Structure 1
Amino acid sequence: MAANQPTILALDFDGVICDGLKEYFETAWRTYCDIWLQTDETPPDNLAKKFYRLRPVIETGWEMPVLIAALLAGVAEEQILQEWHAIARAIVQENHLQSAAIAQKLDFLRDQWITDDLASWLGLHRFYPGVIEKLDSLINSPIQVFIVTTKEGRFVQQLLAQQGIQLPAKSVFGKENKRPKHEILHELITAAKTLPASLWFVEDRIKTLELVAQQSNLDTVKLYLADWGYNTSDERQAAQNHDRIQLLSLSQFADDFSTWG
């Protein structure tokens, strides 16, 4: 195996391979309407665009309808970017809600949608340019490819299958694994077929990469922040200033590994 390429390539899904912003917004809007008893189910103009811009602040699903509540309450976008956690907690408390209950409702409505009309749900996802071609070129190569994501593995496989990419279930670590990504990465290295293992990890959340960088048993893993994903300019700057994390462009991702730096 060449020194300038990995033996194991681990990829996040949403924000790296697939853009699910439209689905995120639609699910968040349906949940908001249900919890906040919104009778007019047509979202206001420009609400979706604001939601897309602010998607990087969301860490877990329950925050999605709360972000819509913040926007409709008139909270400024810049304030949300700077103070999101405090804003989200305040909205939950003021409305006598619980994050777990919001998450449960969101999952229920999403599952109901998937059951009723899987085709329309899948149809709100798109793949970033060049990514499917890159995956296709790696499927039969010596490089082991894994998806490590908080999305359910079955949906990852369905979405990829629509594009002609068949990944075995053992190569997809989804929401159902209920483990931190850094634990999964360590497992991949431990179980590597080719030794010594060289694992490269591409993720669009800098906090996830920073947590991986803190693990002493992952000090050889190459970490890349996907600059086309759900992150902000401040987060991309933080990646450039980090001694372990490298900023990766979509054109680099689609190109030869030697261009990754």
Structure 2
Amino acid sequence: MNAARILALDFDGVICDGMAEYWQTAWRTYTQVWQLDRLEPSPGVAEKFRELRPLIEVGWEMPVLIRALTLGISTERMQSSWQRIRDRILADGRLSGVKVSQQLDAVRDSWIAQDPGSWLGLHQFYPGVIDLLKDLPNRKIQAVIITTKESRFVTQLLAEQGVELASEFVWGKELKRSKTDSLKQILDRGTKKPPTVWFVEDRLSTLAKIATQPELEAVKLYLAEWGYNTPAERESALGQSRIQTLSLADLPTLGGTPKKAAASKSETSDTVDLVS
């Protein structure tokens, strides 16, 4: 990767809002993993799932979250100790994250093969993001997608929107590499001058972990306010010096405001300078 300026983006909650697809895929996977006959969830489960989606770091956790909800575990308990609850549910079912992940991907693959139109239709891209991805080459900025989703799903969704990214710029969970390590790899090019890197992510815990890494001090970190996070997390981010909150309207200003979207000095005098 030889780009001098790189905009690294998470996919779910930053580029694409796939909440409707997440729910449907997670529910189908849940009924298969726990071998249930019922085809419809209990009232309120879908709404609670959406509310607690910010807890999820990796996709395979979604069916486990549904399991926790059907077991009656409270929202408060899950918010305070989700990982412990998640691991207990796996242990009780003699399951592993790998097994649930494989089942989840199989459900998606089967759905895409049988009815690609309905699967694609459940994904909504955030306003302006696709136009931004198409415009980045004109601004000499390379986009890199760093996600816990399988790359093949990301590539298919972007292609449907007319965005063609080479596989070397879509880093999915199949690489088995943390986002921290992915950013280190971007910086470690063996050259004297590393690239300028902006990273936009909607999980505060991920950004906080990256912020502790001295090797990544040069990476500019942004919490996507429009993504899967809570008001409390956005408020917490304001107190962390390495992390800036970012609105969807300000996303295109990373790397310099495009001329067509440039605002007057008076309109931007009180905003955060996002240009390197």
TM-score (norm 1): 0.88
Asked whether 1:86 is paired with 2:90, we answer no
Equivalence for 2:127: 129
1:145-160 → structure 2 map (5 Å cutoff): 145-160=143-158
Deviation at 1:8, TM superposition (A): 1.4
Letter of the structure 1 residue corresponding to residue 125 of structure 2: F
Which residue does 1:9 correspond to in 2?
7
Equivalent position amino acid for 1:214 in 2: T
Q: Deviations over 1:119-165 (max 9, x none)?
A: 32222211011211222221322112211112222222221121122
Which residue of 1 is the match for residue 229 of structure 2?
Answer: 231
Sequence identity of aligned pairs in percent? 50
Q: How does 1:1-261 map to 2 (within 5 A)?
A: 7-191=5-189, 195=193, 197-255=195-253, 257=256, 261=273
How many pairs does the alignment contain? 256
Find the residue that maps to 2:250 and give its secondary structure. helix
Do the aligned residues in 1 keep the contact of 2:199 with 2:222 (CA within 8 Å)? yes
1:255 to partner: Cα distance: 4.7
> Aligned letter for 2:30?
Y
Deviation of the 1:191 alpha carbon: 3.4
Alpha-carbon shift at residue 203 of structure 1 (Å): 0.7
For residues 183 and 212 of structure 1, the distance between their equivalents in structure 2, rounded to whole angstroms, comes to 9
Residue pair 2:59, 2:148 contacting (<8 A) in 1 also: no
Say whether the 8 Å CA contact 2:149–2:172 is kept in structure 1. Answer: yes
| Residues 7, 194 of structure 1: 8 Å contact kept | no
Alpha-carbon contact 1:213-1:219 (below 8 Å) kept: yes
Q: When the two structures are superposed, what TM-score results if normalisation uses the length of structure 2?
A: 0.83
Counterpart secondary structure, 2:249: helix
Stretch of structure 1 that moved more, 50-59 or 71-80: 71-80
2: CA distance, partners of 1:163 / 1:35:
32
3-state SS of 1:208 partner: helix
Q: Which residue of 1 aligns with 2:261?
A: none
Shift in Å, 1:194: 11
Whole-Å separation in 2 of the counterparts to 1:192 and 1:19:
36
> Contact 2:180–2:210 at 8 Å: present in 1 too?
yes
Indicate if the aligned counterparts of 1:252 and 1:260 stay in contact, CA closer than 8 A: no
1:64-89: CA deviations, max 9, x gaps?
11211221222222322122122223
Stretch of structure 1 that moved more, 42-51 or 88-97 = 88-97
Other structure's SS at 1:8 match: strand
Quickly say closer, same or farther: Cα 1:176–1:46, change in 2 above 3 A: same
Partner amino acid for 2:78? I
Q: Note the residue ranges of structure 1 that are not aligned, 5 or more in a row.
A: 1-5
User: Which one-letter code corresponds to 1:45 in the other structure?
Assistant: P
Helix, strand or coil at the partner of 2:120:
helix
1:36 corresponds to which letter in structure 2? W
CA shift in 2, pair 1:152/1:96, >3 Å: closer
